[in-house]
Structure 1
Amino acid sequence: MRVSERVAIETVVVGQGGGRDLHADLYRPPAPNGAAVLLIHGGSYLHGDRGQLRGYGIALGRAGYTCLACEYRLAGEAEWPAQIDDVHTSLAYLHDQAPSLGVDPAKIAVSGNSAGGQLALLAAGLGEWPTAAAIGFYAAVDFLGADARAKGAPQGMTFLLGDDVSEPRLASMSPLTYASPQFPPTLLVTGNRDELIHWGESLRMYQALMDAGVSAEIHIFDGAPHAFDLLPDFGRQCSGILTLFLDRHVADPRPVVIPAEPAEPARRPATSPA
């Protein structure tokens, strides 16, 4: 176990995928607030690992959140849907271990970046395990839309899907397909200079969720490229946005009360001079 400024970090085995152990980094806060976040890394399903999200794990841990940065099998090891299956395995671990971690199972959120953002939003939409909130940083949400086709999809998805790149299969892995009133509160963060995943994808997801009556929030960073939160200044801003969102919707989801207009004071009736 390692300690980073009082946030304890340990590697755990959350289950198995494809006959091998699936690992995750568990970030335990010094003062747990009863909420947890599953963190899912990006990398186009070809590379990347859970260590990419160490900054978020430490920042959220300092704010009281228990975090689990998970592993999932990459495209070179297994085809879809192994990746979302592995995410479900990590969610199951968080729910099973919630009592020992001091976590309320009703306060488990899921967050991801790029491909991890797609997985986070998809896990929330599928609802196999309940999630209190979903967060997608520069996430692909629609593999059938114009933006996806412009980037080479669905042809570019063959490394992940094998020979079956049919429209029904692409739709099933698109978070936009699952936008409905049952979707949890959602935060979307993107940049308008993203060269890999057009910011319009996040905007379409936001609009679909709003149309469904879901509490949704979007932040579009001007001039920001893909994976911009890896830059220190952007990273601090994104950590702050994420923490505030989780505070409002997961840790302490109090309803917003709009005070009524104050009543005008009663006027005394005019009296005649004696």
Structure 2
Amino acid sequence: MPVLTSVLAAALTCVEPPPDPANTYDAAHTYDKLVRAYPQIRIADAALPAGVRQLADQVYAQHGARCLKLDAYLPAGERLPVVVLVHGGGWKSGYRSEFVPMALRLAQQGFAAVTVSYRLSGEARYPAAVQDVQAAVRWVRDHAAALHIDPERVALAGGSAGGQIAALAGVTGEGVKAVINIDGLSDFTSELALKYEDDPDKNPSAAGAWFGGRYAEKTALWREASPIRYVRPGMPAMLFIGSGQPRFSAGREEMMARMTQAGVASDKLLLPDAPHSFWLFDPWLQPTVEASVAFLRQHLR
């Protein structure tokens, strides 16, 4: 298979850094933080189900000796719609494995699903992560035949920082027909976002570290990275899925209003009893997947 051949060639000249012990944004650590307040939660199953095959560790981009990789989860079929999934972690942490449970459930519903790694803020500041995700979309479309996907039916989805990155990559790039923003910011410059992301007691905040400065210092970048700035006719349709913590989806309502004015479809699902990072856990992953599947079937026809 051409995809496998490309990986073997790239593996000779580039490497993916080993996991950072300080990077603890994953299901296990997040479960430990949440289980007392939400004793009913369970880490979502990441076991490969029957009928879904995994194509792991595909190199989609290279920066010097640095490999950027993705994993594809593929059901049987031809010219499948595909969802590229972008992990969260405050632009500074997280792993692509975060979205494996959702990828598997999407695959069981007939969607190819691809989880991607990207350069975190400690390695490369904004806009590197956005550019990486757009490169992953191009790679997926370029390898459509090998992956048995339809290059004209591509969606982006992500959670938290990954939701913001997916939204921004989708509205500023090419080849994306739909976006699912799960508890991610739409407007860094909104009053609610600035209250938390530009908090003077955080030195730096997660967003400040990504932009390389506070809002007053890097105003143009904070504005440029806000998906709400790019609402226009013809942009991808967008589904917003939110937890019970509004700060993580700041700007959502205003962006939806602007999309309506521009004649672009949008929808939302709110899970008011859910914590942030809810997509890592049952019982919230299943309604997230069900809403996503219904939205994608409508907009990836």
TM-score, normalised relative to structure 1: 0.84
- Secondary structure of the 2:141 match is helix
Q: Which amino acid aligns with 2:69?
A: H
Partner of residue 187, structure 1: 239
Partner of residue 16, structure 2: none
1:104 maps to 2:138: no
- Secondary structure of the 1:104 match is strand
Q: Which amino acid aligns with 1:178?
A: Y
Q: CA deviation at 1:33?
A: 5.5
Q: CA deviation at 1:16?
A: 1.3
Structure 1 residues 25, 131: CA separation in 2 closer, same or farther (over 3 Å shift)? Answer: same
Q: Is the 8 A contact 1:118 1:140 kept in 2?
A: yes
1:26 maps to 2:72: yes
Unaligned segments of structure 2, at least 5 residues:
5-46
- Secondary structure of the 1:189 match is strand
Partner of residue 263, structure 2: 213
Q: Is the 8 A contact 1:34 1:65 kept in 2?
A: yes
Q: Is the 8 A contact 1:138 1:202 kept in 2?
A: no
CA–CA separation in structure 2 for the residues paired with 1:121 and 1:151: 20
Q: CA deviation at 1:36?
A: 0.7
Q: Which amino acid aligns with 2:234?
A: Q
CA–CA separation in structure 2 for the residues paired with 1:152 and 1:84: 18
1:177 maps to 2:222: no
Q: Is the 8 A contact 1:114 1:138 kept in 2?
A: yes
1:204-223: CA deviation from partner (whole Å, max 9, x where unpaired): 22222112110111112222
- Secondary structure of the 1:108 match is strand
Partner of residue 39, structure 1: 85
Q: Which amino acid aligns with 2:190?
A: G
More moved, 217-226 vs 136-145: 217-226
Q: Which amino acid aligns with 1:124?
A: G
More moved, 84-93 vs 99-108: 99-108
Structure 1 residues 103, 20: CA separation in 2 closer, same or farther (over 3 Å shift)? Answer: same
Partner of residue 240, structure 1: 290
Partner of residue 177 from structure 2, selected from 129, 132, 140: 132
Q: Which amino acid aligns with 1:189?
A: I
Q: CA deviation at 1:95?
A: 1.1
Partner of residue 230 from structure 1, selected from 275, 280, 289: 280
Residue correspondence of structure 1 range 1-274 to structure 2 within 5 A: 3-11=48-56, 12-17=58-63, 19-32=65-78, 34-127=80-173, 129-153=174-198, 156=205, 157-163=207-213, 165-191=217-243, 193-194=244-245, 196-197=247-248, 199-250=249-300, 252=301
Structure 1 residues 179, 19: CA separation in 2 closer, same or farther (over 3 Å shift)? Answer: farther
Q: Rg larger in 1 or in 2?
A: 1
CA–CA separation in structure 2 for the residues paired with 1:200 and 1:88: 23
CA–CA separation in structure 2 for the residues paired with 1:204 and 1:228: 23
CA–CA separation in structure 1 for the residues paired with 2:144 and 2:64: 25
CA–CA separation in structure 2 for the residues paired with 1:196 and 1:215: 23
Q: CA deviation at 1:200?
A: 4.7
Task: Name which structure has the greater RCO, CA cutoff 8 Å, separation 6+.
Answer: 2
More moved, 135-144 vs 30-39: 30-39
Q: CA deviation at 1:72?
A: 0.4
Identity of aligned residues (%): 27
Unaligned segments of structure 1, at least 5 residues:
253-274
CA–CA separation in structure 1 for the residues paired with 2:254 and 2:88: 20
Q: Which amino acid aligns with 1:160?
A: W
Q: CA deviation at 1:22?
A: 0.5
Q: CA deviation at 1:34?
A: 2.0
Q: Is the 8 A contact 1:143 1:153 kept in 2?
A: no
